[in-house]
Chains A and B, each alone.
Chain A
């Protein structure tokens, strides 16, 4: 499909499909200054620009909450749905059924995903729908002024002094166990890692689930919070250094083959994992779950790509749908001829 392009300004740098970075920008954010969510929006913009994603193919999807406002702050020329609270997965599923060529970019929050939306989240992961599902995870409800969400850590403290006495839901462990095929955790402040993980997610064929710790500067960035900037910086323990090489580039990154694991994604891109502190195989589901459990026990916030299964068929593959979008099929393809009705009527006489 052709994309109309506005003539680039002479100085602007164009990406591989001839678009400037401005093409990928969104509206001005209305979130708090310093909100981790804004940094995530910036990484999405960079990743889409650098990957040469066609904006018109992107379906931006979200539920309700601070996180869910952010699709308005990137890719203005894409299509978007800001759905109802916790129900973005179903809307995304319907959109992908209607047009399998869309790139579903879902942004949710920890409340939107792990509390009200956990039911739809579970089934989305289980179906392995082609979608990039980002949780902007600050462990609290920002838009209703700081109540705990279901990802808040045990013992974590609210600004008001209330202590969380329930254990957190680990959305990554849940996603791995349920069938998502690209599962990672990152930190909104880790530009390099987050950018590589988002690019990998764009290149991936099935469900990519990224839990991004994104401190709430207003309600959850104080002492006693386990989702504050300082806490995450101190406890962040990358499982491996992530590098991403898109399919249109050769692998020229400087790496030592003995210490790097190369994972080829469905579109031919590569995710390169440089071992840091564990000898770790991201295609082993059991090992990934074990590692996450262990890190919880140690009080670490493990980040990086935990699990990837590039070849598993997606929900769309399984439905054996026509390659052209169902949305725009002509009448001749969707209304059977009169003979069919006659035949059915005959059988009922």
Chain B
């Protein structure tokens, strides 16, 4: 073996090879339920603490323990945080997948592996670092039952030594990870140190990859999208939260519950300023949210594709009766159960038009954890201003992975409750008509149940109703009501955030993307310029219905590529609904739907191919 039994080296960089600093992707292949998540997050955080831009993608199975799982850590001095298709470094811990994992590596890549797996025989063009994990874990973890969980921390120490990650940062990250569990932190720290010592004494660095301290993460935070969404709801002043567990959305309400218990207990009385209920299913979760919205609460639920399907009838009810509620959809791969732990933008069309009859719903399209936070807050205001269900379309990649971000900003906009009348206002007016378009924006005035005046009562019904909310089957009444709702949707358009547009040097190629695709596009724009001389414009959608700027963008470019993380080009489909024939003729599609987060290379090569540039 080339790298084992070597003398310990003072300098761990190989002689005569040019180092590659702060630009690598590490893939860790482990078994689900083996405590690898802790080891991976500590690694991620340690790199972050060294000031190096970093991202982590957890590719996990729909299973609690025993199936293969991969975690990719990408460090990029340029700040690119999209997934990369290839990795320079592999940590092969899973006997089931190790051989296949090694075969995916590019020539020149490095592989740390469990010695017993004997992977070295498989490739001559890969640099191997065998490690006797079992031998190393026994002395640092006397309790045999815990060894499985501590074992993975050894590779943190190995990688720290091989890549130059500072051990003090591993230590700090460990303490952050374990918070008050000092014993667990110590046990893991000993394992990391054992790995580091082993590498120092036994492994000779033979690859060019290195991490060096820089200053690109100072003042930044690390957070998962679902936690950011929960924080947004907390500061939005949500009062009723009703939900049903489903991957990948469960951590929205679980994290929110923790925050609410900590920050939303009334100081004077010790009582909750909120109610959180785990419902019996998604139908009930949304039914409760709508019941609460009708009675005046700021209510929400969170779900994923199958839940969206179940909520379809109630969403139509909310739309037609005009009740506010916020629905967070953390999208995953469908149809049916699909790939429940993989990412997609799979619910775009079904959610935009959810329910029977003519229905359309506003959707926010966050791309980042900071937008998860800010759009959560905006969505509650919008739902109450428009008196309608509003969706926030996150996805598994954004929701469940850890992202680097600037700290979130405290809201400057006050909470907006929309058009709610008090008893006194109704008395002064001598009554009110629930569905009358008084202001010309399609939005009526409402009273909340419990408002103490006999003139305030009204009946919310999903059947045909007139302006006074009284049952009616008259054709003209129905048409007027539906036209007013369509007009209300036009009002929604004026309240949605416009796209973020960056123009290219020429007007030939434009790119439209949304959500987590943004991170791949950001990187792809440079690749297209450098490799194919395509200087494309970029329009990142932030909401549906689309604003005027989206049409301006399409009109400016000759060819516009719409990037979707789904098979059927769903956003392109929605654009078709709202675009002119001339605009539609310019639209092209780039689709990515293998369950993995979209990467820049896939986008670049596909656009280049369609442009005939390669």
Residues of A at the B interface (CB closer than 8 Å) are 1-4, 6, 23, 27, 54-57, 59-61, 71-72, 76-84, 87, 89-99, 101-102, 119-120, 122-123, 319-323, 325-329, 331, 333-336, 338, 340-342, 344-345, 348-349
Q: Is A95 touching B452 in the complex (CB atoms < 8 A)? A: no
The residue that A327 contacts in the complex, of B238, B285, B296, B456, with Cβ under 8 A, is B296
Q: Is B235 touching A98 in the complex (CB atoms < 8 A)? A: no
From B139-147, B331-339, B460-468, the one touching the partner chain is: B460-468
Look across to chain B and name the residue whose beta carbon is closest to the beta carbon of A30.
B471
Q: Is A4 touching B454 in the complex (CB atoms < 8 A)? A: yes
With a cutoff of 8 Å between Cβ atoms, the chain B residues found around residue A61 in the complex are: 291
Q: Is A87 touching B314 in the complex (CB atoms < 8 A)? A: yes
With a cutoff of 8 Å between Cβ atoms, the chain A residues found around residue B449 in the complex are: 56, 59, 79, 95, 99, 102
Q: Is B263 touching A336 in the complex (CB atoms < 8 A)? A: yes
Bound together, the chains give a CA A57 to CA B299 distance in angstroms of 20
The residue that B459 contacts in the complex, of A80, A334, A336, with Cβ under 8 A, is A80
Bound together, the chains give a CA A315 to CA B460 distance in angstroms of 25
Known: A23-B454, A321-B274. 15 other contacts (CB 8 A): A3-B454, A4-B453, A4-B455, A82-B459, A82-B460, A87-B314, A93-B291, A102-B450, A120-B284, A122-B280, A322-B269, A327-B297, A331-B414, A334-B239, A334-B298
Residues of B at the A interface (CB closer than 8 Å) are 219-223, 231, 234-240, 242, 259, 263-264, 266, 269, 271-275, 277, 279-281, 283-299, 313-314, 317, 321, 407-408, 410-411, 414-415, 423, 427, 447-463, 470-471
Bound together, the chains give a CA A328 to CA B291 distance in angstroms of 15
The residue that B457 contacts in the complex, of A2, A77, A323, with Cβ under 8 A, is A77
Q: Is A3 touching B240 in the complex (CB atoms < 8 A)? A: no
CB distance from B280 to the nearest CB of A (A): 4
With a cutoff of 8 Å between Cβ atoms, the chain A residues found around residue B453 in the complex are: 3-4, 56
Bound together, the chains give a CA A90 to CA B323 distance in angstroms of 15
Q: Is A83 touching B462 in the complex (CB atoms < 8 A)? A: yes
With a cutoff of 8 Å between Cβ atoms, the chain B residues found around residue A6 in the complex are: 454
With a cutoff of 8 Å between Cβ atoms, the chain A residues found around residue B414 in the complex are: 331
Provided the pairs A87-B314, A123-B280, A340-B263 are in contact, do residues A95 and B287 lie with their beta carbons within 8 angstroms? no
Which 5 A-B pairs have CB atoms at the shortest separation, nearest pair first?
A: A94-B291, A90-B287, A327-B296, A334-B237, A98-B297
Bound together, the chains give a CA A327 to CA B298 distance in angstroms of 7
CB distance from B473 to the nearest CB of A (A): 11
Q: Is B292 touching A333 in the complex (CB atoms < 8 A)? A: no
CB distance from B42 to the nearest CB of A (A): 15
Bound together, the chains give a CA A6 to CA B459 distance in angstroms of 21
Q: Which of the listed residues A79, A99, A323 has the most CB atoms from chain B within 10 Å of its own CB? A: A79
Bound together, the chains give a CA A4 to CA B451 distance in angstroms of 11
Q: Is B237 touching A325 in the complex (CB atoms < 8 A)? A: no
With a cutoff of 8 Å between Cβ atoms, the chain A residues found around residue B237 in the complex are: 329, 331, 334-335
CB distance from A289 to the nearest CB of B (A): 23
The residue that B295 contacts in the complex, of A56, A59, A348, with Cβ under 8 A, is A59
CB distance from B300 to the nearest CB of A (A): 11
Look across to chain B and name the residue whose beta carbon is closest to the beta carbon of A76.
B457
Look across to chain B and name the residue whose beta carbon is closest to the beta carbon of A69.
B471
Bound together, the chains give a CA A72 to CA B470 distance in angstroms of 9
With a cutoff of 8 Å between Cβ atoms, the chain A residues found around residue B264 in the complex are: 334, 336
Q: Is A93 touching B219 in the complex (CB atoms < 8 A)? A: no
Bound together, the chains give a CA A287 to CA B294 distance in angstroms of 40
With a cutoff of 8 Å between Cβ atoms, the chain B residues found around residue A325 in the complex are: 295-296, 450
Q: Is B450 touching A84 in the complex (CB atoms < 8 A)? A: no
26 A-B pairs (CB sep. < 8 Å): A1-B450, A56-B449, A72-B459, A79-B450, A79-B458, A79-B460, A81-B294, A83-B291, A84-B462, A90-B288, A90-B291, A91-B288, A91-B290, A94-B295, A95-B449, A97-B240, A97-B242, A99-B448, A99-B450, A122-B280, A123-B279, A321-B274, A322-B266, A335-B235, A335-B237, A335-B411
Q: Which of the listed residues A55, A76, A81 has the most CB atoms from chain B within 10 Å of its own CB? A: A81
Q: Is A56 touching B272 in the complex (CB atoms < 8 A)? A: no
The residue that B460 contacts in the complex, of A80, A94, A319, A326, with Cβ under 8 A, is A80
Q: Is B271 touching A94 in the complex (CB atoms < 8 A)? A: no
CB distance from B410 to the nearest CB of A (A): 4
Q: Is A56 touching B457 in the complex (CB atoms < 8 A)? A: yes
Q: Is A87 touching B283 in the complex (CB atoms < 8 A)? A: yes
Q: Is A99 touching B314 in the complex (CB atoms < 8 A)? A: no
Q: Is A320 touching B461 in the complex (CB atoms < 8 A)? A: no
Q: Is A1 touching B452 in the complex (CB atoms < 8 A)? A: yes
Look across to chain B and name the residue whose beta carbon is closest to the beta carbon of A336.
B263
With a cutoff of 8 Å between Cβ atoms, the chain B residues found around residue A23 in the complex are: 454
Look across to chain A and name the residue whose beta carbon is closest to the beta carbon of B269.
A322
With a cutoff of 8 Å between Cβ atoms, the chain A residues found around residue B295 in the complex are: 59, 94-96, 98-99, 102, 325, 327
Q: Is B234 touching A336 in the complex (CB atoms < 8 A)? A: yes
Bound together, the chains give a CA A149 to CA B571 distance in angstroms of 43
Q: Is A82 touching B457 in the complex (CB atoms < 8 A)? A: no
Bound together, the chains give a CA A26 to CA B217 distance in angstroms of 65
With a cutoff of 8 Å between Cβ atoms, the chain A residues found around residue B415 in the complex are: 331, 334-335
Q: Which of the listed residues A55, A325, A328, A338 has the most CB atoms from chain B within 10 Å of its own CB? A: A328
CB distance from A28 to the nearest CB of B (A): 11
With a cutoff of 8 Å between Cβ atoms, the chain B residues found around residue A338 in the complex are: 410
The residue that A84 contacts in the complex, of B275, B313, B410, with Cβ under 8 A, is B313
With a cutoff of 8 Å between Cβ atoms, the chain A residues found around residue B447 in the complex are: 79
CB distance from A347 to the nearest CB of B (A): 9
With a cutoff of 8 Å between Cβ atoms, the chain B residues found around residue A336 in the complex are: 234-235, 263-264
Q: Which of the listed residues A61, A122, A349 has the most CB atoms from chain B within 10 Å of its own CB? A: A349
With a cutoff of 8 Å between Cβ atoms, the chain B residues found around residue A95 in the complex are: 291-292, 294-295, 449
Look across to chain B and name the residue whose beta carbon is closest to the beta carbon of A81.
B460
Bound together, the chains give a CA A89 to CA B275 distance in angstroms of 17
With a cutoff of 8 Å between Cβ atoms, the chain B residues found around residue A93 in the complex are: 242, 277, 284, 287-288, 291
Q: Is A94 touching B242 in the complex (CB atoms < 8 A)? A: yes
Bound together, the chains give a CA A76 to CA B455 distance in angstroms of 10
Q: Which of the listed residues B234, B269, B284 has the most CB atoms from chain A within 10 Å of its own CB? A: B284
Bound together, the chains give a CA A345 to CA B298 distance in angstroms of 24
Bound together, the chains give a CA A202 to CA B450 distance in angstroms of 17
Q: Is B240 touching A326 in the complex (CB atoms < 8 A)? A: yes
Look across to chain B and name the residue whose beta carbon is closest to the beta carbon of A327.
B296
CB distance from A277 to the nearest CB of B (A): 39
Q: Is A91 touching B272 in the complex (CB atoms < 8 A)? A: no
Bound together, the chains give a CA A95 to CA B189 distance in angstroms of 51
With a cutoff of 8 Å between Cβ atoms, the chain B residues found around residue A78 in the complex are: 457
CB distance from B60 to the nearest CB of A (A): 22
Provided the pairs A93-B277, A334-B239 are in contact, do residues A322 and B271 lie with their beta carbons within 8 angstroms? yes
With a cutoff of 8 Å between Cβ atoms, the chain B residues found around residue A92 in the complex are: 291
CB distance from A304 to the nearest CB of B (A): 30
Bound together, the chains give a CA A93 to CA B292 distance in angstroms of 8
CB distance from A29 to the nearest CB of B (A): 12
Bound together, the chains give a CA A102 to CA B297 distance in angstroms of 13
Q: Is B273 touching A322 in the complex (CB atoms < 8 A)? A: yes
CB distance from A331 to the nearest CB of B (A): 5
Bound together, the chains give a CA A38 to CA B448 distance in angstroms of 28
Provided the pairs A102-B450, A322-B269, A328-B448 are in contact, do residues A97 and B288 lie with their beta carbons within 8 angstroms? yes
Bound together, the chains give a CA A93 to CA B283 distance in angstroms of 13
Q: Is A101 touching B263 in the complex (CB atoms < 8 A)? A: no
CB distance from A326 to the nearest CB of B (A): 4
Bound together, the chains give a CA A119 to CA B277 distance in angstroms of 16
Bound together, the chains give a CA A6 to CA B448 distance in angstroms of 21
Q: Which of the listed residues B240, B294, B455 has the most CB atoms from chain A within 10 Å of its own CB? A: B294
Bound together, the chains give a CA A89 to CA B408 distance in angstroms of 38
With a cutoff of 8 Å between Cβ atoms, the chain B residues found around residue A97 in the complex are: 240, 242, 275, 277, 288, 291-292, 297
